[in-house]
Amino acid sequence: MVADLRHDDFLQAEPAGPLESSQNQPSAVLTVEKLALSLAGKEILQQVDFSLSAIGVTSVIGPSGAGKSSLLRCLNGLESGWTGGVKIDGNDIRQWPGGWDQLRRHVGLIAQKPLVFNTSIRANVCFGLHGWRQRRRADGLVKASLQQAALWDEVADRLDAAATTLSVGQQQRLCIARAIAIKPKILLLDEPTASLDPLSKQLIEQSMLQLAQQIPLICVTHDLEQAQRLKGQVIFMCDGRVIEQAASDQFFRQPQQIETREFLRWSVCDCD
Ligand SMILES: Nc1ncnc2c1ncn2[C@@H]1O[C@H](COP(=O)(O)OP(=O)(O)OP(=O)(O)O)[C@@H](O)[C@H]1O
Ligand SMILES: [Mg+2]
């Protein structure tokens, strides 16, 4: 079960970084305008436009090769050769103070395959903590982050054990704890539960829903039922373009675009 502990105290008490929100900001914290990416002479993303509100989950679905992972990589600066505009709280991510490394502190990315460091569980969570204020509160941050990632109960008595001794599902939750310990403004998740057992999947979804009450999450998934469980918004991508974006209920009940309808019909048939 996910502990009902909010980490508002450190999400809010200490600004996550040097940027302050612009004055008179609209409610959207992330706006993407005409984002385009070419790699090896191939158009990977074309004119991608969407915006996210301040909290909640946005699921990104679409066929393999649609550009979903590439989109996430652009948003946290792992791909930098794109054109167009990406703003967080009105701030252009190309102008982020401290550059892409600092941006990645604010825009966490959880990959499909958990990447834990070959250190202790505690050290993994503390990895991104900088400055005396955060380090002084490290024990509290470790506990709060692990609780929010639904892992605390399983590791509370073995924080100094090697992170590599955890199961894959536990390692994925450790990666989430590490990402949220540094108070991201946005958390990106690329098929975070793709190869996990049902219980791990459920724990991570609960953790995401709890976290989404405080910050926006973007979750790429091939699991349409997961996209429905996560509620929020759904973005459907195909061939590097956003075809449709709508609230989850509306998206699955009344998809507007023919490509979306085809994809949903085909996906349901594929599951049978
Ligand atoms: N570094 C690269 N160089 C050339 N092509 C690339 C590179 N990275 C990705 N691509 C291509 O970009 C397209 C989109 O890839 P991407 O990984 O974003 O798709 P995806 O929607 O995440 O697919 P999946 O659901 O299979 O994970 C694919 O055709 C892929 O081959
Ligand atoms: Mg992908």
pLDDT on residue 270: 55
224 within domain boundaries = yes
Which residue owns the Cα nearest ligand 1 atom 17? 69
pLDDT on residue 261: 96
147 within domain boundaries = yes
Taking the model in full, what pTM does it have?
0.88
Domain boundaries, position 91: 8-16+26-271
Whole-number Cα distances in Å, 182 to 38, 52, 64, 117, 235: 31, 21, 31, 16, 27
What's the structural domain count of the chain? 1
Which residue owns the Cα nearest ligand 1 atom 24? 64
Which residue owns the Cα nearest ligand 1 atom 5? 39
Mode of pairing for the β-strands spanning 56-61 and 30-39: unpaired
258 within domain boundaries = yes
Task: Report the separation in Å between the CA atom of 68 and the middle of ligand 2, taken as the mean of its atom positions.
Answer: 6
21 within domain boundaries = no
251 within domain boundaries = yes
> To test the ligand 1 pocket, which listed residue (45, 68, 237) has its Cβ within 8 A of the most ligand atoms?
68
Burial class (CB in 10 A: 0-12, 13-18, 19+), 211: buried
pLDDT along the chain (272 residues), means of 10: 34 36 53 97 96 91 98 95 95 94 93 95 90 72 95 97 96 96 94 92 95 95 96 96 96 97 84 44
Task: Report the separation in Å between the CA atom of 66 and the middle of ligand 1, taken as the mean of its atom positions.
Answer: 7
What residues have CB less than 8 Å from 36, skipping those under 6 apart? 43, 45, 46, 47, 48, 82, 83, 84
pLDDT on residue 29: 87
- The DSSP secondary-structure symbol of 20 reads P
Amino acid at 213: Q
pLDDT on residue 1: 34
Which residue owns the Cα nearest ligand 1 atom 6? 39
* Sign of the CA dihedral running 32, 33, 37, 43: positive
Q: How far apart are CA 210 and CA 57, in angstroms?
A: 10
What residues have CB less than 8 Å from 261, skipping those under 6 apart? 255
Using a 6 Å CB cutoff, which residues line ligand 1?
Answer: 39-40, 42, 44, 62, 64-70
Q: How many residues does the chain have?
A: 272
Q: How far apart are CA 67 and CA 204, in angstroms?
A: 24
pLDDT on residue 156: 97
- Count other C-beta atoms under 10 Å from residue 272's C-beta: 4
243 within domain boundaries = yes
Which residue owns the Cα nearest ligand 1 atom 12? 44
pLDDT on residue 137: 73
Task: Report the separation in Å between the CA atom of 59 and the middle of ligand 2, taken as the mean of its atom positions.
Answer: 13
Spell out which residues have Cβ within 5 A of ligand 2, the ion.
Answer: 69
3 within domain boundaries = no
Closest ligand to residue 81's CA: 1
- The DSSP secondary-structure symbol of 186 reads E
68 within domain boundaries = yes
- CATH number of the domain bearing residue 243: 3.40.50.300
Q: How far apart are CA 170 and CA 28, in angstroms?
A: 32
